[in-house]
Amino acid sequence: MSLTIPTNLSKPILKPKLSSSPIPKSRPTIVCSSQNSNQDEQTTTSPLKAFSAALALSSILVSAPVLPANADIAGLIPCKDSKQFAKREKQQIKKLESSLKLYAPDSAPALAIKASVEKTKRRFDNYGKQGLLCGSDGLPHLIVSGDQRHWGEFITPGILFLYIAGWIGWVGRSYLIAIRDEKKPTQKEIIIDVPLASSLLFRGFIWPVAAYRELVNVAWDEETQWREVECLSWEFV
Protein backbone atom coordinates (compact mmCIF):
# COMPACT_ATOMS: atom_id res chain seq x y z
CA MET A 1 0.00 0.00 0.00
CA SER A 2 1.52 3.25 -1.09
CA LEU A 3 0.54 6.86 -0.50
CA THR A 4 0.82 9.51 -3.12
CA ILE A 5 1.22 13.05 -1.87
CA PRO A 6 0.26 15.67 -4.41
CA THR A 7 2.87 18.31 -5.03
CA ASN A 8 0.47 21.24 -5.48
CA LEU A 9 -0.47 21.41 -1.81
CA SER A 10 2.21 24.01 -1.22
CA LYS A 11 0.29 26.53 -3.34
CA PRO A 12 -2.72 28.22 -1.94
CA ILE A 13 -5.93 26.75 -3.11
CA LEU A 14 -7.87 30.05 -3.19
CA LYS A 15 -6.52 33.44 -3.96
CA PRO A 16 -8.14 36.40 -2.29
CA LYS A 17 -9.83 38.62 -4.77
CA LEU A 18 -9.63 42.33 -4.37
CA SER A 19 -12.85 44.21 -4.44
CA SER A 20 -13.38 45.85 -7.80
CA SER A 21 -15.99 48.32 -6.52
CA PRO A 22 -14.91 51.91 -7.15
CA ILE A 23 -13.88 54.09 -4.27
CA PRO A 24 -16.65 56.54 -3.53
CA LYS A 25 -15.68 60.02 -4.49
CA SER A 26 -16.49 62.95 -2.32
CA ARG A 27 -19.25 65.06 -3.82
CA PRO A 28 -18.72 68.80 -3.79
CA THR A 29 -21.02 70.70 -1.53
CA ILE A 30 -22.45 73.97 -2.73
CA VAL A 31 -23.11 76.57 -0.07
CA CYS A 32 -25.58 79.14 -1.31
CA SER A 33 -26.49 80.91 1.87
CA SER A 34 -23.40 83.05 2.29
CA GLN A 35 -23.27 84.02 -1.36
CA ASN A 36 -26.97 84.73 -1.49
CA SER A 37 -26.82 86.99 1.53
CA ASN A 38 -24.10 89.09 -0.04
CA GLN A 39 -25.84 89.18 -3.40
CA ASP A 40 -29.16 90.04 -1.75
CA GLU A 41 -27.56 93.00 -0.04
CA GLN A 42 -26.14 94.16 -3.36
CA THR A 43 -29.53 93.67 -5.03
CA THR A 44 -31.30 95.83 -2.47
CA THR A 45 -28.66 98.54 -2.25
CA SER A 46 -28.21 99.07 -5.98
CA PRO A 47 -31.85 100.09 -6.68
CA LEU A 48 -31.82 102.34 -3.62
CA LYS A 49 -28.65 104.06 -4.83
CA ALA A 50 -30.14 104.54 -8.30
CA PHE A 51 -33.36 105.96 -6.86
CA SER A 52 -31.44 108.33 -4.57
CA ALA A 53 -29.31 109.54 -7.47
CA ALA A 54 -32.37 110.13 -9.66
CA LEU A 55 -34.14 111.99 -6.86
CA ALA A 56 -31.11 114.20 -6.24
CA LEU A 57 -30.74 114.94 -9.96
CA SER A 58 -34.41 115.86 -10.35
CA SER A 59 -34.27 118.17 -7.32
CA ILE A 60 -31.22 119.91 -8.77
CA LEU A 61 -32.92 120.36 -12.13
CA VAL A 62 -36.13 121.73 -10.63
CA SER A 63 -34.38 124.09 -8.22
CA ALA A 64 -31.97 125.44 -10.83
CA PRO A 65 -32.37 129.20 -11.34
CA VAL A 66 -33.72 130.41 -14.65
CA LEU A 67 -30.95 132.24 -16.47
CA PRO A 68 -31.81 135.15 -18.78
CA ALA A 69 -32.54 134.07 -22.33
CA ASN A 70 -30.43 135.33 -25.18
CA ALA A 71 -30.99 135.35 -28.91
CA ASP A 72 -28.81 132.28 -29.30
CA ILE A 73 -31.20 130.47 -31.65
CA ALA A 74 -31.58 131.57 -35.25
CA GLY A 75 -34.78 133.51 -35.87
CA LEU A 76 -35.76 133.77 -32.20
CA ILE A 77 -35.45 136.78 -29.91
CA PRO A 78 -36.60 137.41 -26.32
CA CYS A 79 -40.34 138.05 -26.27
CA LYS A 80 -39.94 141.24 -24.27
CA ASP A 81 -37.92 142.69 -27.19
CA SER A 82 -40.21 141.40 -29.93
CA LYS A 83 -42.40 143.98 -31.67
CA GLN A 84 -44.75 141.31 -32.99
CA PHE A 85 -45.24 139.99 -29.46
CA ALA A 86 -46.18 143.46 -28.20
CA LYS A 87 -48.49 143.89 -31.19
CA ARG A 88 -50.33 140.67 -30.38
CA GLU A 89 -50.83 141.82 -26.80
CA LYS A 90 -52.33 145.10 -27.92
CA GLN A 91 -54.61 143.36 -30.43
CA GLN A 92 -56.02 140.94 -27.87
CA ILE A 93 -56.59 143.65 -25.27
CA LYS A 94 -58.21 145.93 -27.86
CA LYS A 95 -60.54 143.13 -28.96
CA LEU A 96 -61.67 142.52 -25.39
CA GLU A 97 -62.15 146.22 -24.66
CA SER A 98 -64.21 146.68 -27.83
CA SER A 99 -66.67 144.00 -26.67
CA LEU A 100 -66.85 145.74 -23.29
CA LYS A 101 -68.90 148.57 -24.83
CA LEU A 102 -71.82 146.23 -25.47
CA TYR A 103 -72.59 145.76 -21.77
CA ALA A 104 -73.35 147.94 -18.79
CA PRO A 105 -70.32 148.91 -16.70
CA ASP A 106 -71.35 146.95 -13.60
CA SER A 107 -73.00 143.97 -15.31
CA ALA A 108 -71.71 140.43 -14.94
CA PRO A 109 -70.46 140.17 -18.58
CA ALA A 110 -68.58 143.46 -18.22
CA LEU A 111 -66.88 142.29 -15.03
CA ALA A 112 -65.92 139.00 -16.71
CA ILE A 113 -64.41 140.88 -19.68
CA LYS A 114 -62.43 143.14 -17.34
CA ALA A 115 -61.07 140.06 -15.56
CA SER A 116 -60.08 138.59 -18.94
CA VAL A 117 -58.23 141.80 -19.81
CA GLU A 118 -56.24 141.61 -16.57
CA LYS A 119 -55.43 137.94 -17.16
CA THR A 120 -54.23 138.73 -20.68
CA LYS A 121 -51.93 141.49 -19.46
CA ARG A 122 -50.59 139.27 -16.71
CA ARG A 123 -49.98 136.38 -19.13
CA PHE A 124 -48.01 138.47 -21.60
CA ASP A 125 -46.06 140.06 -18.75
CA ASN A 126 -45.10 136.62 -17.39
CA TYR A 127 -43.98 135.48 -20.85
CA GLY A 128 -41.62 138.43 -21.01
CA LYS A 129 -40.28 137.96 -17.48
CA GLN A 130 -39.66 134.22 -17.86
CA GLY A 131 -37.31 134.84 -20.77
CA LEU A 132 -39.24 132.98 -23.46
CA LEU A 133 -38.08 133.35 -27.05
CA CYS A 134 -40.45 134.48 -29.78
CA GLY A 135 -40.31 134.03 -33.53
CA SER A 136 -41.15 136.42 -36.31
CA ASP A 137 -44.85 135.65 -35.76
CA GLY A 138 -44.72 137.00 -32.20
CA LEU A 139 -45.58 133.65 -30.62
CA PRO A 140 -43.47 132.11 -27.81
CA HIS A 141 -41.44 129.02 -28.76
CA LEU A 142 -40.48 126.31 -26.28
CA ILE A 143 -36.84 125.20 -26.45
CA VAL A 144 -36.36 121.52 -25.60
CA SER A 145 -32.75 121.12 -26.70
CA GLY A 146 -31.48 120.67 -23.13
CA ASP A 147 -30.20 124.21 -22.71
CA GLN A 148 -30.11 125.07 -19.01
CA ARG A 149 -31.60 128.50 -19.63
CA HIS A 150 -34.79 126.89 -20.98
CA TRP A 151 -35.24 124.00 -18.53
CA GLY A 152 -38.29 125.63 -16.98
CA GLU A 153 -40.07 125.59 -20.33
CA PHE A 154 -40.44 121.81 -20.57
CA ILE A 155 -39.15 120.07 -17.41
CA THR A 156 -41.82 121.38 -15.03
CA PRO A 157 -44.84 120.73 -17.29
CA GLY A 158 -43.32 117.42 -18.42
CA ILE A 159 -42.85 116.14 -14.88
CA LEU A 160 -46.32 117.37 -13.94
CA PHE A 161 -47.87 115.56 -16.91
CA LEU A 162 -46.08 112.30 -16.09
CA TYR A 163 -47.10 112.55 -12.45
CA ILE A 164 -50.79 113.14 -13.23
CA ALA A 165 -50.87 110.39 -15.87
CA GLY A 166 -49.17 107.94 -13.52
CA TRP A 167 -51.50 108.92 -10.68
CA ILE A 168 -54.59 108.22 -12.80
CA GLY A 169 -53.20 104.89 -14.00
CA TRP A 170 -52.11 103.78 -10.53
CA VAL A 171 -55.49 104.59 -8.96
CA GLY A 172 -57.31 102.73 -11.75
CA ARG A 173 -55.03 99.72 -11.34
CA SER A 174 -55.54 99.71 -7.56
CA TYR A 175 -59.32 99.88 -8.04
CA LEU A 176 -59.33 96.90 -10.40
CA ILE A 177 -57.19 94.89 -7.98
CA ALA A 178 -59.50 95.78 -5.09
CA ILE A 179 -62.70 94.65 -6.85
CA ARG A 180 -61.43 91.51 -8.57
CA ASP A 181 -62.41 89.32 -5.59
CA GLU A 182 -65.98 90.64 -5.53
CA LYS A 183 -68.91 88.54 -6.69
CA LYS A 184 -69.64 90.86 -9.62
CA PRO A 185 -66.45 92.77 -10.46
CA THR A 186 -67.72 93.74 -13.91
CA GLN A 187 -70.68 95.53 -12.39
CA LYS A 188 -68.36 97.59 -10.17
CA GLU A 189 -66.35 98.52 -13.22
CA ILE A 190 -69.51 99.96 -14.78
CA ILE A 191 -70.97 101.46 -11.59
CA ILE A 192 -68.03 102.91 -9.67
CA ASP A 193 -67.85 102.24 -5.94
CA VAL A 194 -67.42 105.87 -4.85
CA PRO A 195 -66.19 105.28 -1.24
CA LEU A 196 -63.60 102.76 -2.41
CA ALA A 197 -62.50 104.92 -5.31
CA SER A 198 -62.20 107.99 -3.05
CA SER A 199 -59.93 106.18 -0.60
CA LEU A 200 -57.73 104.94 -3.44
CA LEU A 201 -57.75 108.40 -4.99
CA PHE A 202 -56.02 110.00 -2.02
CA ARG A 203 -53.60 107.11 -1.54
CA GLY A 204 -52.58 107.43 -5.18
CA PHE A 205 -50.75 110.72 -4.54
CA ILE A 206 -47.69 108.75 -3.39
CA TRP A 207 -47.76 106.43 -6.40
CA PRO A 208 -44.05 106.90 -7.31
CA VAL A 209 -42.99 105.54 -3.90
CA ALA A 210 -45.53 102.70 -4.03
CA ALA A 211 -44.51 101.75 -7.57
CA TYR A 212 -40.82 101.74 -6.64
CA ARG A 213 -41.41 99.56 -3.58
CA GLU A 214 -43.48 97.10 -5.61
CA LEU A 215 -40.81 96.98 -8.32
CA VAL A 216 -38.10 96.22 -5.76
CA ASN A 217 -40.23 93.51 -4.10
CA VAL A 218 -40.96 91.81 -7.44
CA ALA A 219 -37.28 91.87 -8.40
CA TRP A 220 -36.39 90.49 -4.96
CA ASP A 221 -38.87 87.60 -5.25
CA GLU A 222 -37.73 86.66 -8.76
CA GLU A 223 -34.07 86.73 -7.73
CA THR A 224 -34.74 84.62 -4.64
CA GLN A 225 -36.69 82.00 -6.60
CA TRP A 226 -33.96 81.79 -9.24
CA ARG A 227 -31.28 81.22 -6.61
CA GLU A 228 -33.32 78.52 -4.90
CA VAL A 229 -33.73 76.66 -8.20
CA GLU A 230 -30.02 77.05 -8.93
CA CYS A 231 -29.05 75.61 -5.53
CA LEU A 232 -31.39 72.64 -5.97
CA SER A 233 -29.93 71.89 -9.38
CA TRP A 234 -26.42 71.85 -7.90
CA GLU A 235 -27.49 69.42 -5.19
CA PHE A 236 -28.88 66.92 -7.69
CA VAL A 237 -25.80 66.97 -9.92
Tally: H helices and E strands in the chain: 7, 3
Q: Are residues 169 and 133 in the same domain?
A: no
Q: Are residues 165 and 234 in the same domain?
A: yes
Residues of the chain with pLDDT under 50: 1-4, 9-11, 13-14, 16, 19, 21, 24, 26, 28-41, 43-44, 66-71, 236
Q: 224: domain CATH number?
A: 1.10.8.110
pLDDT digits (tens, 9 = 90+) for 116-126: 999 999 999 99
Q: Are residues 136 and 158 in the same domain?
A: no
Helix 207-236, helix 155-179: angle, nearest 10: 60
| Alpha-carbon gap, residue 234 to 74, rounded angstroms | 66
| Alpha-carbon gap, residue 101 to 219, rounded angstroms | 67
Does residue 91 fall inside a structural domain? yes
Q: Are residues 136 and 165 in the same domain?
A: no
Q: Are residues 194 and 234 in the same domain?
A: yes
Q: Are residues 113 and 167 in the same domain?
A: no
Per-residue pLDDT at 71: 47
Q: How many domains does the chain have?
A: 2
| Alpha-carbon gap, residue 121 to 99, rounded angstroms | 17
Q: Which domain holds residue 89?
A: 76-146
| Alpha-carbon gap, residue 43 to 140, rounded angstroms | 47
Q: Are residues 140 and 160 in the same domain?
A: no
Q: Are residues 232 and 158 in the same domain?
A: yes
- Residue 75, classed as helix, strand or coil, is coil
Per-residue pLDDT at 164: 95
Q: Are residues 163 and 218 in the same domain?
A: yes
Per-residue pLDDT at 149: 76
In this structure, which long-range contacts are made by residues 159-162, counting pairs with CB atoms below 8 Å and at least 24 apart in sequence?
159/58, 159/62
Does residue 166 fall inside a structural domain? yes
Per-residue pLDDT at 49: 59
Does residue 187 fall inside a structural domain? yes
Q: Are residues 160 and 138 in the same domain?
A: no
Does residue 71 fall inside a structural domain? no
Does residue 43 fall inside a structural domain? no
| Alpha-carbon gap, residue 36 to 42, rounded angstroms | 10
| Alpha-carbon gap, residue 7 to 210, rounded angstroms | 97
Does residue 223 fall inside a structural domain? yes
